[in-house]
Amino acid sequence: MGGGAGEAFEASLVETNVTGSHRSHYDAAEGYLINLQAGLDISGTHPMAITLTSCFVGDNQGSGIRFSVPGGQLNLVASRVSTNTNEGNGGGIRVISGGLMLSGSHVLNNVAQGTGASGGGISFEGSTDTLHIHSGSSVVGNTATSNGKP
């Protein structure tokens, strides 16, 4: 893992399931509403590389994965993102900033709904970021209200 100023941070999740997140949850003990953007929400201001290997991200309200890291990289290796539903862009994966790489991974049957929602499977909002889809990967069966089908 990186640590010093200017160093890129690296982290991995291996054989992890992220499922069943709800868009909002009222914490009665604390007395406030928690508004979740995604099953797995990764954000930061310094470059970082996050790798998910043999992971399942599915059945979440909100994007399955939301990634917002300028100069960062999200790598999915032998993983699956499926059956997530977001009220907005990026049902499966919403990349606000940073790059995305799929290797032997599948983005299946996700939904982006709501007025103008795009990217049922993947919403890629950064204009200078990169998307790499390697062989053995698929992005299929996803739907969106507006653009970005499948």
Task: Summarize pLDDT for 33-46 with one digit per residue, the tens.
Answer: 555 678 999 999 98
Residue 91 maps to a domain: yes
pLDDT digits (tens, 9 = 90+) for 77-132: 999 999 999 988 999 999 999 999 999 999 999 999 988 899 999 998 877 678 99
pLDDT at 104: 98
Confidence check: pLDDT of 65 > 70 = yes
8 A C-beta contact, residue 16 and residue 57: no
Q: Which domain holds residue 117?
A: 41-144
Residue 1 maps to a domain: no
Residue 92 maps to a domain: yes
pLDDT at 150: 47
Q: What is the pTM of this model?
A: 0.86
Residue 7 maps to a domain: no
End-to-end, the C-alpha distance of the chain in Å comes to 35
What total of structural domains would you count in the chain? Answer: 1
What is the pLDDT averaged over residues 134-141?
A: 96
Confidence check: pLDDT of 2 > 50 = no
Residue 89 maps to a domain: yes
Q: Report which DSSP code applies to 134.
A: -
CA distance 130 to 115: 26
Residue 9 maps to a domain: no
Residue 26 maps to a domain: no
Residue 24 maps to a domain: no
* Percent of the chain as helix, strand, coil, to the nearest 5: 0, 55, 45
pLDDT at 5: 55
8 A C-beta contact, residue 91 and residue 64: yes
